[in-house]
Chain A
Amino acid sequence: MQASQEEPIVSKQGVCRPQLLVDVPRGPSSSLGMLGERSASTKGVNARFNLELRRSELRPRRRGDESEGTIQQCDCKIEVIGPRIQSGESVRTSRPNSSLPWIAFPPDATRFAGRLRETPSPSNTYAMMVDQCRRHCTRSRPNWFFANRFPAASMLLCIIGCHLFVVFVPSPRVVSACMNEDSSDAPRPISLVNDVVPVLTKSGCNAGTCHAKAGNGQNGFQLSLLGFEPKEDFSHMVLEGRGRRLSLAAPEQSLLLLKATGTVSHGGGAKIPVDSDRYRTLLEWIRQGAHDDMATAPKLLSLEVHPNKGSLAVGGEQQLKAIAKYSNQTAIDVTPLALFESNDSAMAVVSESGLVRILDIPGKASIMVRYQGNVAVFQASVPQGTPVALVPPSKNFVDDHVFENLRELGIPPSPVCDDSTFLRRVSLDIAGRLPSDNELQAFLNDPSDHKRDDAMERLLQSSEYADFFANKWTAMLKNRRDDASDITSNFAFYSWVRDSLLANKPYDQMVRELLAATGTVIANPPVAWYKRVKEPKQQLEDVAQLFLGVRMQCAQCHHHPFERWSQDDYYSLAAFFSQVGRKPTATRGEDMIFHKRGMAGAANLKTGVTLRPAPLGESTIAIAPDTDPRLKLADWMAAPNNPFFAKALVNRYWKHFFRRGLIEPEDDIRDSNPPSNPELLAALEKHFIESHYDLKELVRVLVRSNTYQLSSIPNEHNARDEQNYSRYYPRRLQAEVLLDAIDDFAMTRTDFPNLPSGTRAIALPDNSYNNASPFLKVFGRPENESVCECERIQTSSLAQSLHLMNAGDVKGKLSNGNGRAELLAKSDRPMQDRVVELYRVAFSRQPSAEELTTAVSYLNEPRFDAQGNPVDAGKSLRENLHDLLWALINTKEFLFNH
């Protein structure tokens, strides 16, 4: 093979785009006859040709240095012009057009130029040939190919209809020159797949909001989403709409162009300027006959971005270059047609043409580059460059990686937080509750230097740990009450999750029990998941997103826009769930789940081909009809080298404790969404696997680190850091935790239907209690409908503020006749003590002197009734206490875990 590995990158605007692999095998000379049967293979293309060339069909017209001739065979006419080819060379070309067989030239072939009867002249061969092509083939497209890596000569090919013209020129430069010179007149062949569709994508035509089929397709003109299906695009553009979308007779009048340029009224406005390369590409394609070249177009193999990483200063810029590599071993600069997108537009922005501009937040920014279903990522490290003199001591590998990253970026971390803050933080994060006054007392008085680890351990062993995390998991596992009769199965499922967490069942085992559950809900509670998640599609989507961190939903109907997942990948994964058998039980809505014997398989929605089970990104695995495919899936997931399973979990837990996932969103793991600290993620993954998927151990590693224990108060250098964990990022208490915290603080409780009095909000088994508690709803407790934790609303809202300030349930708690306010009102302790108690319970700390003074003097203020008469001291104090409680729960310090 002579075709070069390092094909020069040529501009897409230029016409010198190699489209056809030409290789020149060296070897003994071959005769025409020998060429009759030969199979040729190039990357990705296998074809056989059968060409019988008979010498009699060579009709030499002239003798001498320049000779011409015509080869005719069947309906294929080959016309060749060129200099003499060196003896010992043969030329093969890959099949340029489906209507043409493969052709080859004998080593001793001289030049043939049959059709160029008029004025064949070596000096203007090219231009003349173009002219000829036009004349002879007015109704066919000319397709120009050119390869410039010949040992001795370059070859130019032109295919028009059934005619192939070949020009050999002495050097690549000559070809280049003549083609460029001639570019306006005789442009290169435009490929539907590699030229037209990218233009549509870049111009946004096939975006969801415009003409993408997935988004309905405006005005009945539907294109495949982001051009993943050129075949459909061809039929939509060329064949449908009664052919009015393209005008071959008057290409400029094609509706496609008139609309795109806004010449005629277009809902989407003018998308493609008339004087743009994109316009010219479309126009030329239509001029050339608007052919499809799905079968022949070189296949896009990969996309690269240059550079793919770099260190950029705040405010810095970098122009990216997108390089597409094709099956014909060419590499094209596709920057003008690639799509650029910043993963975090607060950190970096990127222009349409690929110019990256770094904003003022230090850290890791990434830019996703997309071109025709391929994705590449540019990662910029944006150092702040502040000298990092002091870093807390490293307690484990978490600290190693985080602090190393901070040093590299030049972001000094905040110091380690004080004991009070730590205890409040860790209690909220592990057990979902505030520390009690006694706990706080004991902790603060504990002289031990490992008291933080001890506190963490106590919390991990508490039943509240299981409550809190069961609450987290059951929401994602959709433990949902749709019908009153669901109560039994929901309670059973909740208990199974909670007990598993309490017993610290290894994570892989938990997942296996869930995935491969069989039987009835009561006998085997994880079966309840199959009650909620009924369809194989839903099952694979949930499993992929929840346990693998991969969002497959898109690939059900079209290629994933940011990912490598195709519909085949989707249905191969669905196949694992194809043998889930169901049999109704006596309980309404509940099925017994069993393995239905048979070959697992799922049909691709588009192709109709039944696919056998294949794990994500891997090849099909053979599963005997007697084996439950779900077990195989579980095996694959829990294998130590699984690229997703452990990563998804550690990232999810990292987010639980650090507010922001190393990969964000936590369940959207893909090549185009790189982690902010890949080394740390890898180390966590490794540790988790080595601990045999021990969830509590994972919590220990996270919480023990000084990274977790950093103060949330920014120093003068790290306030802008949002992703490197140079401080603890505060977060609003989630709905259940906040309700419990208010109850603890006010010494009240919230009653929930069908549950024992005193059940905490954090221990609610399903979503049905949201209806009973407006508080939970307003503060965003999820309805357990989505596998995504984003269903829980953590942002603040006006409704929440109003609720805390004025809602009946909150007001009732603060002034409850058996509550803390009442107790304090009746107490004869000094006012100061009472304030201290409130502070310790609400904020897990002592009040400052100033706060103490403010609060005490407020409590001592006399009150007057509407008529201006003083009210009695007891009532006055009570009112003031209610006010103080109200004020404290309405502070950020109470509402946030900090």
Chain B
Amino acid sequence: MSDPFYASSCQHAQSLPSHLGAGNGPCCGPQAFGHAGRRGFLRMGLGGFASLSLPGLFRLQSALASDGQKSPREKTAIIMVWKPGGCSHIDTYDPKPDATSEYRGPFSTIATKVPGLQFTELLPRQAAIADKFTVLRSMRQTAPGHPAGSMQMLSGDPDTRDKPKPKYPDWMTVTNFLRSQQEARTNPLPRYVGINPPLEYNGPAYLGDMYSPFTVMGDPNAPNFSVPNIGLSDASEVQRLDRRSGLRQKLDTLTRAFDRQGELGALDQFEQQAISLLTSPATKEAFDLTKEDDRTRDRYGRNAWGQQLLMARRLVEAGVEVLTTSLSGQLCGRVGNWDDHAVNHHVFDALRFRAAAYDQAVTALIEDIYERGLDKRVLVVVTGEFGRTPKIEYSPSTGEGNASAPAGTIQPGRDHWPRAFSNVWAGGGIRTGQVIGATDKRGEDPIERTCSAGDFLATIYHHLGIDASTTFIKDFNGRPTPIVDHGKPIPELIG
């Protein structure tokens, strides 16, 4: 129990209605953020680069032979900002000032730039640009645990029970896979990049690790931050790689004997691409935040979250098409995520603790997307796997730390709440300044425009030019499996 993250015990789960499948054991919080994070910069080699399949290559060749035109839809991109553990909707985007004190929390409401739309005082900057995004207040899924909840939101698995690994690929790897089938990637940057991405409750399932993200770990605000394998750092290394590959070329005699062999040919292409990735200054630059002027860096916030989102914008601008980044770690408080049970955090202290960095970074990202004209091509989605219980609970803290009182101190918390929560949408050519859906007077259930995890995913896919209703991918057994289990693009969020 040295890691406070595991110390959380969650009797709260029983408070959820049984039809949500709650009550099957104590909650361990989203484990991904407990042990897998911040250990090293580069996990798992370079997965995610392998977006070039053999058929893709051939198609590229034929495409280049005719003309290189691609429809603008294919170039669309998504930045998903993930709030692991689930953000309290009632304390942020869906305040209930008229609810009783058992529910409403201590934060006062503020007006936003959109008449009639109110946030809590935690989000003044977003309130000031509320015309630049749309809040969906009636998000609802059915899984009360972090694993199943994340899998519902990311891979559309309707299962409400927690399982250790996803059964279906998440939308990010699906997109990487589908786009790889459509076209070869000419941009040396990987198609799918994760900057401290959600790691544990999502993944490629039957698509294989080659479609996993290129993962950047660590704090991009740290002075010694660097991204391995992207652009070799000094010229002598580049020189040496050139020399080595020259030698290899001379010694690689087998290829000539098999020049008809598709697989060997494909490998040749991958090798060339790898070398270009390693040696190209452009790829290195895309990850290099020092190329941004100080004002921009300040604007996002000189902290991990701010710089993560800045890097996200930079990479998407340079041609990355799927980008996920999670707002976790020290900026979240003691347990490093948004899982604000009373055992983990004093929920209100925790929200206040992280509000400034969160509000600043998200605001800067949204504004920047519009200012740089990326708002049609790039859709920004800010969400977590669920909301938090509208009714405040009180339990003893299990440890002292940021936003948590000493162990044993009774403090307020909020538990898991998949029945209703909010997320934020910007860019993507959508009409902004809207609010979609509403919850009841306590923020417990949507009362209009209920949107499911399937709708959430179908909307994302729609922006990516993928028709979720007709796209199937074969699983290990060769069975065509739909990429979304029931869901339609949310009409108000279609650009």
Report A's interface with B, CB cutoff 8 A.
208-210, 215-216, 218, 267-268, 482, 545, 551, 553-554, 665, 668, 712-714, 719-720, 730, 732, 774-775, 777-778, 780, 783, 785-786, 788, 790-791, 793, 795-803, 805-808, 848, 851, 854-855, 858, 865-866, 879, 883-884, 886-888, 890-893, 895-896, 898
Does the CB pair A791–B270 fall under 8 Å?
no
Residue contact B45 to A799, C-beta cutoff 8 Å: yes
Q: Taking CB as reference atom, which chain A residue is nearest B167? A: A785
- Interfacial chain B residues near A719, Cβ < 8 Å: 260
Contacts of A786 in B (CB 8 A): 206, 476-477
Q: 13 pairs across A/B with beta carbons < 8 Å?
A: A209-B470, A209-B480, A218-B469, A267-B470, A774-B43, A793-B208, A796-B267, A798-B274, A805-B278, A865-B236, A887-B244, A887-B251, A892-B252
Stretch touching chain A among B47-55, B417-425, B445-453 = B47-55
Task: Give the number of chain B interface residues (Cβ < 8 Å).
Answer: 64
From residue B493, how far is it (CB to closest CB) to chain A in Å?
19
A892, B264: Cβ atoms under 8 Å? yes
Q: Judge whether B478 and A551 touch: CB under 8 Å.
A: yes
CB–CB A806/B469 < 8 A: no
B372 on the A face (CB < 8 A)? no
Given contacts A793-B208, A807-B46, 19 further A-B contacts (CB under 8 A): A208-B472, A208-B482, A215-B482, A482-B164, A775-B45, A778-B46, A783-B165, A786-B477, A799-B47, A799-B50, A802-B45, A802-B274, A803-B46, A806-B232, A806-B278, A848-B253, A865-B236, A891-B254, A893-B253
Name the 9 nearest CB pairs between A and B, nearest first. Answer: A797-B50, A887-B248, A801-B274, A786-B476, A798-B49, A893-B254, A774-B45, A891-B252, A801-B270
Whether B278 pairs with A883 at a CB distance below 8 angstroms is no
**Pair B244/A886 contact, Cβ less than 8 Å:** yes
- In the assembled complex, which residues on chain A have CB atoms less than 8 Å from the CB atom of B159? none
Instruction: Indicate which residue in B209, B235, B260, B476 contacts A790 across the interface (CB closer than 8 Å).
Output: B476
List, in ascending order, chain B residues with CB within 8 A of A888's CB. 248, 251
Report yes or no: B469 in contact with A267, Cβ–Cβ below 8 A. Answer: yes
Q: Which residues in A have their C-beta under 8 angstroms from that of B241?
A: 805-806
Minimum CB–CB distance from A622 to chain B (whole Å) comes to: 32
On whether A886 and B248 interact (CB within 8 A), knowing A791-B476, A805-B274, the answer reads: yes
In the bound complex, do residue B470 and residue A210 qualify as a contact, i.e. CB atoms below 8 Å apart? yes
Tell me whether B482 and A799 are in contact (CB under 8 A).
no
User: Can you list, as one digit per residue, whether each of B69-113 has a CB less than 8 Å from chain A (1) or not (0)?
Assistant: 000000000000000000000000000000000000000000000
Q: With an 8 A cutoff between CB atoms, is B370 at the interface?
A: no
Q: How would residues 242 to 286 of chain B score, 1 for a CB under 8 Å from any chain A CB and 0 otherwise?
A: 011101101111110110110110110011011101100000000
User: Which of A551, A712, A798 has the largest number of chain B CB atoms within 10 A?
Assistant: A798
- Render B350-370 as a binary contact track against A, CB cut-off 8 A, 1 for contact: 000000000000000000000
Q: Take A668-B478, A793-B210 as given contacts and tell me if A215 and B44 are in contact as well, using a CB distance cutoff of 8 Å.
A: no
B44 and A883 contact, CB distance less than 8 A: no
| A883 and B275 form a contact (CB under 8 A) | no
Q: Is there contact, CB below 8 Å, between B485 and A216? A: yes
- Whether the pair A896, B480 counts as a contact (CB closer than 8 A) is no
Residues of B at under 8 Å CB distance from A? 43-54, 164-165, 206, 208-210, 228-229, 232, 234-236, 240-241, 243-245, 247-248, 250-255, 257-258, 260-261, 263-264, 266-267, 270-271, 273-275, 277-278, 469-472, 476-480, 482, 485-486
Distance in Å from the Cβ of A478 to the closest Cβ of chain B? 12
A803 in contact with B45 given A796-B263, A797-B50, A883-B240 (CB within 8 Å): yes
Contact partners of A668 in chain B: CB under 8 A? 478
Cβ-defined contact, A720 with B260, below 8 A:
yes
Greatest chain B CB density within 10 A among A554, A788, A801 is at: A801
Note all chain A residues with C-beta closer than 8 A to B469.
216, 218, 267
Give the docked Cα–Cα distance between A808 and B129 (Å): 45
A795–B471 CA distance with the chains assembled, in angstroms: 23
C-alpha gap A854/B52 in the complex (Å): 33
The CA of A668 and the CA of B248, in the complex, are separated in Å by 40
CB distance from A727 to the nearest CB of B (A): 10
User: Contact: B252 with A795, CB < 8 Å?
Assistant: no
User: B244, A798: Cβ atoms under 8 Å?
Assistant: no
Decide: B208 and A892 in contact? CB cutoff 8 A.
Answer: no
> How many inter-chain contacts with C-beta < 8 Å in the A-B complex?
184
| Cα–Cα, bound, A884→B274 (Å) | 19
Given contacts A714-B260, A730-B258, A777-B209, contact A895 B44 (CB under 8 A): no
Residues of the A chain whose Cβ atoms lie less than 8 Å from the Cβ of B234 = 866
Per a CB cutoff under 8 Å, which of B54, B245, B258, B275 touches A795?
A: B54
- Asked whether, in the complex, the Cβ of B243 is within 8 Å of the Cβ of A883, the reply is yes
Q: Tell me the complex Cα distance, A793–B476, Å.
A: 11
Query: Once bound together, how far apart are the Cα atoms of A783 and B476, in whole Å?
Result: 12
* Cα-based distance from A208 to B479 in the complex (angstroms): 10
Are the C-beta atoms of A777 and B47 separated by less than 8 Å? yes
CB-CB nearest in chain A for B488: A219
* A525 to B62 alpha-carbon distance, docked (Å): 54
State whether A890 and B254 are in contact (beta carbons under 8 Å apart), knowing that A778-B46, A797-B49 are contacts in the complex: no
List residues of chain B with CB within 8 A of the CB of A848: 253
Q: Is the CB of B229 within 8 A of A802?
A: yes
Alpha-carbon distance A714/B259, docked complex (angstroms): 10
Q: How far is the CB of A67 from chain B (nearest CB, A)?
A: 62
Chain B: minimal CB distance from A304 (Å): 26
Q: Are B278 and A800 in contact (CB under 8 A)?
A: no
Chain A: minimal CB distance from B189 (Å): 12
Cα distance A730–B275 in the bound complex, in angstroms: 25
State the Cβ distance, B28 to closest chain A Cβ, in Å.
13
Q: How far is the CB of B82 from chain A (nearest CB, A)?
A: 22
Rounded to whole Å, the gap between the CB of B210 and the closest CB of chain A is: 4
Residue of A with least CB distance to B237: A806
In the assembled complex, the Cα of A152 lies from the Cα of B487 at a distance in Å of 63
Residue contact B251 to A795, C-beta cutoff 8 Å: no
- The answer to whether A780 and B209 have CB atoms under 8 Å apart is yes
Min CB distance B487 to A, Å, is 9
**A720 to B470 CA separation, bound complex (whole angstroms):** 35
Residues of A within 8 A of B477 (CB): 545, 551, 553, 786, 788
Note all chain A residues with C-beta closer than 8 A to B206: 786, 791
Which residues of chain A are within 8 angstroms of B482 by Cβ–Cβ distance? 208, 215-216
Note all chain A residues with C-beta closer than 8 A to B228.
808
CB distance from B19 to the nearest CB of A (A): 22
- Name the distance in Å between A608's Cβ and chain B's nearest Cβ: 24
**B264: chain A residues within 8 A (beta carbon):** 730, 892, 896
CB distance from B15 to the nearest CB of A (A): 27
* Contact (Cβ within 8 A) B480 A806: no
Q: Which residue of A lies closest to B49 (CB)?
A: A798
Residues of B contacting A482 with CB < 8 Å? 164
Are A896 and B254 interface neighbours, CB within 8 A? yes
Q: A797-B210, A851-B251, A883-B243 are in contact. Are A215 and B472 (CB under 8 A)?
A: yes
Contacts of A777 in B (CB 8 A): 44-45, 47, 209
Contacts of B485 in A (CB 8 A): 216
Cβ-closest chain B residue relative to A554: B479
Residue contact B278 to A802, C-beta cutoff 8 Å: yes
Complex Cα spacing A855 to B246, Å: 12
Q: How far is it, in angstroms, between the C-alpha of A807 and the C-alpha of B229 when the chains are bound?
A: 8
Q: Which of A209, A551, A732, A802 contacts B49 (CB 8 A)?
A: A802
Query: Which of A780, A785, A884, A891: most chain B Cβ within 10 A?
Result: A891
| B274 contact set on A, CB distance < 8 A | 798, 801-802, 805-806
Q: How far is the CA of A890 from the CA of B251 in the complex (A)?
A: 10
Expressed in whole angstroms, the minimum distance between the Cβ of B46 and any Cβ of chain A is 4
| A268–B470 CA distance with the chains assembled, in angstroms | 9
Asked whether A209 and B472 contact (CB < 8 A) given A778-B209, A802-B45, A896-B254, the answer is yes
| A893-B46 contact in complex given A732-B263, A780-B209, C-beta closer than 8 Å | no
Give the CA-CA distance A866 to B228 in the complex, in Å: 21
Residues in chain B near residue A714, CB distance under 8 A: 257-258, 260
Q: Which residues of A sit under 8 angstroms from B51, Cβ to Cβ?
A: 798
Assess the B257–A713 pair: CB atoms within 8 A. yes
Asked if residues A854 and B251 are in contact (CB atoms below 8 Å), the reply is yes
B248-A778 in contact (CB<8A): no
Task: Chain A residues near B270: list those with CB within 8 A.
Answer: 796-798, 800-801
